[in-house]
Structure 1
Amino acid sequence: MEISIHKGYLSGCIGRITALHADYYAQQSGFGVYFESRVARELAAFCERYEEARDGLWLALADGRVEGAIAIDGLHAPTEGAHLRWFITSDRLRGSGIGTRLLGSALAFCDERGYARTSLWTFAGLQAARHLYEKQGFRLVHEQPGRQWGNEVMEQRFERLAPRLAE
């Protein structure tokens, strides 16, 4: 199996990233149509307003098929920090190290752009992802019960300061 990382949009990636999220989180957390439609809607809007100098999208390809993704939404980076979104790998690639490579690409992009802070929303119980985030300098800064993905979970916000600010 040939695994590579592609930077930027590829035809069909919105649907494939949405499907990866819908399948994984339906099994993992019982998320349904609300979650899937939100991922599709927000990812499509991101891709439509994508600016190469500000935003980033990386796709993990296995034999040419999208099997993972991560995005950096830089729309509000100057005031609120960059937003890490849609980080996922398929079961086929989970444990292969591709998640670490995707996250590294996204954070290098943030550092190159001089983004002072990068944040993400997730929820309690996703230990493998949390481990990757913390290994890259993210820290839990807020936790609250919520329903932003359709089902009630313990929502968590993680932030990472740019290396020059974290010292």
Structure 2
Amino acid sequence: MNITHDFFPGAIGQIIQLHGTHYAKNWGFTSYFEAKVAQQIAGFAHGKQETDLALIAQDDQGVAASLVLDLHDPESGPRGAHLRWFICADRCRGTGMGRKLMAQAVAHAETHTNGKMWLRTFAGLEPALHLYRSFGFVLQAEKEGDVWGTVVKEQEYHRAGDI
């Protein structure tokens, strides 16, 4: 499996599709969620800066995993780098690919934000939450909401850095 450090032609669409199909199948999310991912990732890609990081794992079937570290999200403030669009296709779950991408993202954050990172997710994604916690992320806020078009228990995790 090849890991690139930026988007390549077709990658954005495949990342959107991974999110749309995975969260529809496993969580009942609708096309509202897929459209939101499309809008946000397109905006990020259009304004991506040199210190931002896009990790894309690709195999012979296309994009197998993605992780974006947005160092310039105006919403971040003192929380540091915003971890976004982290997903592994079913075919690479349990292979260590997610851990490999996360390790690269944390190393990047250590260099650029003293390791400070944050992310939004929701309760119930146990393998992902386990991975986040293993890299020092701690739950900071939790509330029911429908920011993704479906009511879930939204969570925000922070990584303090220098741990």
TM tier, smaller: over 0.9
2:57–2:63 CA contact under 8 A, matched in 1 = yes
Structure 2: give runs of 5+ residues left out of the alignment: none
Q: For residues 45-124 of structure 1, what are the structure 2 equivalents within 5 Å?
A: 45-53=43-51, 55-63=52-60, 65-75=62-72, 76=74, 79-115=78-114, 117-124=116-123
For each residue in 1:30-49, what CA deviation from the matched residue of structure 2 results, as whole angstroms up to 9, or x when unmatched?
00111000000000000000
For each residue in 1:19-64, what CA deviation from the matched residue of structure 2 results, as whole angstroms up to 9, or x when unmatched?
00001100111001110000000000000000112x1100011137
Q: Identity percentage over the alignment?
A: 39
Aligned CA distance change for structure 1 residues 140 and 4 (closer, same or farther; 3 Å)? same
1:36 to 25, 34, 37: 34
Could you say which residue in structure 1 is the equivalent of 2:127? 128
Q: Distance in 2 between matches of 1:25 and 1:109?
A: 28
2:56–2:63 CA contact under 8 A, matched in 1 = yes
Off by >4 Å, runs of 4+ in structure 1: none
Note the C-alpha offset of 1:112: 0.9
Q: Distance in 1 between matches of 2:120 and 2:100?
A: 20
Structure 1: give runs of 5+ residues left out of the alignment: none
What is the letter of the counterpart of residue 50 of structure 2?
A: E
Say which SS state the counterpart of residue 85 (structure 2) adopts. Answer: strand
Could you say which residue in structure 2 is the equivalent of 1:22? 20
User: How many residues of Structure 1 are paired with residues of Structure 2 in the alignment?
Assistant: 161
Q: Distance in 2 between matches of 1:98 and 1:36?
A: 23
For each residue in 1:79-136, what CA deviation from the matched residue of structure 2 results, as whole angstroms up to 9, or x when unmatched?
4421000000101111110000111111111111134521000000000000000000
Q: Distance in 2 between matches of 1:121 and 1:79?
A: 15
Note the C-alpha offset of 1:65: 1.8
Q: Distance in 2 between matches of 1:121 and 1:90?
A: 19
What is the letter of the counterpart of residue 140 of structure 1?
A: L
* TM-score scaled by length of structure 1: 0.92
What is the letter of the counterpart of residue 74 of structure 1?
A: L
| Aligned-residue RMSD, C-alpha | 1.4
* TM-score scaled by length of structure 2: 0.94
